[in-house]
């Protein structure tokens, strides 16, 4: 068979996230050695590049799982674009060089098909000053015109499934 386990299928950002994404944070991925119990920076097995984990919010209003992580392969930590509203933590982004690797996730009792997503580039997505994307739509689930009052801060980067 031509396809081996761990094959990476090339996909476009629009195929995977047609409504776009908001980046929340970037962390360096870590490998854990069971013998030495040491953590080391994760490197991609195919390219040798450092791996960064970008925590994102899927803007699809019908997405069952809103929080997704995309592994970004880059020699240094990527800088996220500015927030759409200061203090919101929401940064509209676009990934380039995306691939997905399907696998069976057996960690939650019942086996299910899951995907590992990787990208080789990250850039700011086009959201206009009005808070709308290039198609004139407001970001899904956003309330960019309402200021935050005391006690209305972010929920620690966790997205709730709608």
**Domain ranges for the chain:** 9-124
Give me the pLDDT at residue 101, please: 92
Backbone φ/ψ region at 54: left (φ over 0), alpha (ψ -120 to 50), beta: beta
pTM for this model (two decimals): 0.73
Nearest to 158, CA basis, from 85, 72, 89: 89
Whole-number pLDDT of residue 154: 32
CA-based radius of gyration for the chain: 17
- pLDDT of the residue at 142: 38
The predicted pLDDT at position 122 comes to 95
Mean pLDDT by 10 residues, the chain (162 residues): 77 94 95 91 93 96 93 95 92 96 85 91 74 43 34 33 32
Instruction: Check the CA dihedral 147-152-153-157 and report its sign.
Output: negative
Distances (CA, A) of 24 to 79, 96, 156: 12, 18, 10
Q: What is the pLDDT, as a whole number, of residue 42?
A: 94
């Amino acid at each position: 068979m031509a396809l081996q386990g761990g094959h990476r299928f090339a996909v476009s950002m629009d195929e995977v996230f047609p409504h776009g994404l908001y980046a929340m944070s970037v962390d360096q991925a870590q490998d854990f050695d069971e013998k030495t119990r040491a953590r080391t920076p994760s490197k991609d097995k195919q390219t040798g590049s450092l791996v960064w984990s970008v925590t994102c919010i899927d803007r699809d209003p019908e997405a069952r799982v809103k929080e997704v992580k995309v592994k970004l392969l880059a020699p240094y930590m990527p800088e996220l674009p500015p927030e759409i509203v200061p203090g919101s933590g929401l940064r509209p982004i676009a990934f380039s060089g995306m691939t997905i690797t399907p696998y069976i996730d057996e960690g939650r009792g019942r086996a299910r098909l899951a995907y590992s997503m990787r990208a080789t580039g990250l850039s700011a997505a086009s959201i206009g000053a009005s808070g709308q994307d290039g198609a004139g739509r407001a970001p899904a689930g956003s309330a960019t015109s309402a200021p935050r009052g005391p006690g209305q801060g972010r929920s620690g980067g966790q997205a709730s499934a709608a």
